[in-house]
């Protein structure tokens, strides 16, 4: 939101500058105001992203609700499958990355991302994954999937990186 306000302010100053250029008759520049573009509503469920890791695992992304670090029902299903794969891949280390949307301060989002990563780790340990094979890190809002506000739910996630 902060970035949007800055862009709007910059555009307004730019139009004001153009309108006050010396030697330009007022009728030569007519600001055009387009109708706002409506973005499509996000789907009710975010489809988990599954990318093969260097260790050969296909660990899916778990998603979170706004300002929450609780494991949702759809994320529990994803984490069950991830836990089965991790347990079967002996010697594989997994880093759980916590991510957030850009709503809120950077400091708050770093902490929220860490809570999401830790909650994910605790859940995987309860499913039988050895805690010593898991590490966590928070990227807060620094690595967004999308900058489109209507799709911020895709940024509220825990991703998995595996290595032998």
> Does residue 136 form part of some domain?
yes
Contact call for residues 90 and 103 (beta carbons, < 8 A): no
> Does residue 156 form part of some domain?
yes
> Does residue 9 form part of some domain?
no
Q: How many domains does the chain have?
A: 1
Q: Locate 40 and state its tokens.
A: 């499509």
pLDDT in tens, 44-95: 455 556 555 556 789 999 999 999 999 999 999 999 999 999 999 989 999 9
Rounded percentage of the chain residues whose pLDDT exceeds 70: 66
Contact call for residues 138 and 98 (beta carbons, < 8 A): yes
Strand partners, 62: 158
> Does residue 87 form part of some domain?
yes
Residue span of the structural domain in which 142 resides: 50-163
> Does residue 40 form part of some domain?
no
Rounded percentage of the chain residues whose pLDDT exceeds 90: 63
Q: What is the CATH number of the domain that holds 67?
A: 3.30.1330.60
> Does residue 148 form part of some domain?
yes
pLDDT in tens, 125-143: 999 999 999 999 999 999 9
Nearest 10 degrees: CA dihedral of 126, 69, 62, 161?
-80
Residue length of the chain: 164
pLDDT score recorded for residue 43: 46
pLDDT score recorded for residue 131: 97
> Does residue 151 form part of some domain?
yes
> Does residue 14 form part of some domain?
no
d(CA 108, CA 113): 9
């Amino acid at each position: 939101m902060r970035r949007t306000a800055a862009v709007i302010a910059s555009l307004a100053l730019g139009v004001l500058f153009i309108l006050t250029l010396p030697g330009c008759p007022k009728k030569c520049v007519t600001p055009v105001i387009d109708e706002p573009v409506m973005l499509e509503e996000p789907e009710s469920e975010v489809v988990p992203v599954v990318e093969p890791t260097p260790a050969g695992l296909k660990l899916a992304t778990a998603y979170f609700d706004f300002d929450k670090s609780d494991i949702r029902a759809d994320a529990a299903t994803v984490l069950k499958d991830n836990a089965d794969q991790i347990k079967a891949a002996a010697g594989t280390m997994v880093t759980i990355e916590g991510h957030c949307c850009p709503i809120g301060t950077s400091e708050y989002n770093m902490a929220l991302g860490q809570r999401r990563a830790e909650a994910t780790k605790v859940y995987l340990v309860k499913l039988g994954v050895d805690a010593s094979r898991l590490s966590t890190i928070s990227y807060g809002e620094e690595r967004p999937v999308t900058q489109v506000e209507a799709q911020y739910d895709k940024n509220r996630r825990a991703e998995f990186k595996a290595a032998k």
